């Protein structure tokens, strides 16, 4: 699972959520025909600016997504699509600006939220095998699928946290130890400055 859809008023945008989920595109499940539904969404300048700030990007020049929604049995919906974006970042080696392209495929099953506890974390007593949470469907909250939030989540997950310009290599600076800094060097210098015979007891 990616994360649950916000249970807020679907007609009101939001910049909340752990990733600043400002990209919104609500699809009521009841409006999806049996033959399926195709949707294309693109984030406007204000939305891209909010997403760039939330993700720690230098800029987000482009972000768009396409989806095909297909009804399945039990009130479930299969969502297939693609998220494409251009993200402006800073090279972690040279600190120079750079841009990366993101192109992520989406293939998820959404199900009514009341079905999620049954699908995720259930145990088959015969085989004693637990269904992995990663295979659980995404929740349909209040009868709505938020394609914008889904696209934003996939975009955030695809961002390289350590972007580097092609050919940029981190070369740590190696400091060669100065022989004069050796602890015995000071003692050696002191002995060199001491005249021969000084400090020795005289014989009577």
**Position 204 in a domain:** no
The pLDDT tens digits of the residues spanning 81-110 come to 999 999 999 999 999 999 999 999 999 999
Task: State the burial class of residue 111 (Cβ atoms within 10 Å of its Cβ: 0-12, 13-18, 19+).
Answer: buried
Q: Tell me the per-residue pLDDT of 7-44, one tens digit each, with 9 for 90 and over.
A: 333 333 333 334 445 899 999 999 999 999 999 999 99
The number of distinct structural domains making up the chain is 1
The answer as to whether 1 is a domain residue is no
- Report d(CA 92, CA 170) in Å as an integer: 9
Residue 200 covered by a domain: no
Task: State the average pLDDT over residues 196-202.
Answer: 55
pTM, whole model, 2 decimals? Answer: 0.67
* Residue 5 included in any domain: no
Does residue 177 belong to any structural domain of this protein?
no
183 in any annotated domain: no
| Residue 68 near residue 105, CB atoms below 8 Å | no
Residue 32: which domain range?
26-158
Query: Could you tell me if residue 52 is inside a domain?
Result: yes
* C-beta separation of 155 from 84 below 8 A: no
CA separation for the pair 137, 131 (Å, rounded): 12
Residue 144 CA to residue 140 CA, distance in Å, equals 6
Question: 14 lies in a domain?
Answer: no
């Amino acid at each position: 699972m990616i994360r649950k859809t916000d249970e807020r008023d679907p007609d009101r945008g939001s910049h909340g959520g752990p990733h600043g989920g400002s990209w919104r595109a609500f699809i009521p499940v009841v409006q999806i025909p049996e033959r399926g539904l195709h949707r294309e969404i693109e984030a406007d300048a204000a939305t891209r600016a909010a997403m760039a700030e939330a993700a720690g990007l230098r800029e987000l020049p482009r972000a768009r997504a396409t989806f095909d929604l297909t009804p399945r049995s039990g009130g479930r919906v299969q969502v297939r699509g693609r998220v494409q974006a251009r993200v402006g970042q800073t090279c972690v080696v040279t600190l120079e600006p750079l841009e990366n392209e993101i192109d992520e495929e989406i293939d998820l099953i959404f199900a009514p939220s009341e079905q999620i506890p049954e699908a995720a974390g259930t145990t088959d007593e015969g085989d004693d095998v637990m269904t992995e949470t990663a295979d659980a469907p995404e929740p349909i909250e209040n009868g709505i699928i938020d394609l914008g939030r889904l696209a934003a989540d996939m975009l955030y997950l695809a961002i390289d946290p350590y972007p580097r310009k092609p050919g940029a290599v981190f070369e740590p600076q190696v400091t060669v130890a100065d022989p004069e800094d050796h602890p015995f060097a000071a003692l050696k210098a002191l002995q060199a400055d001491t005249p021969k015979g000084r400090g020795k007891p005289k014989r009577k």
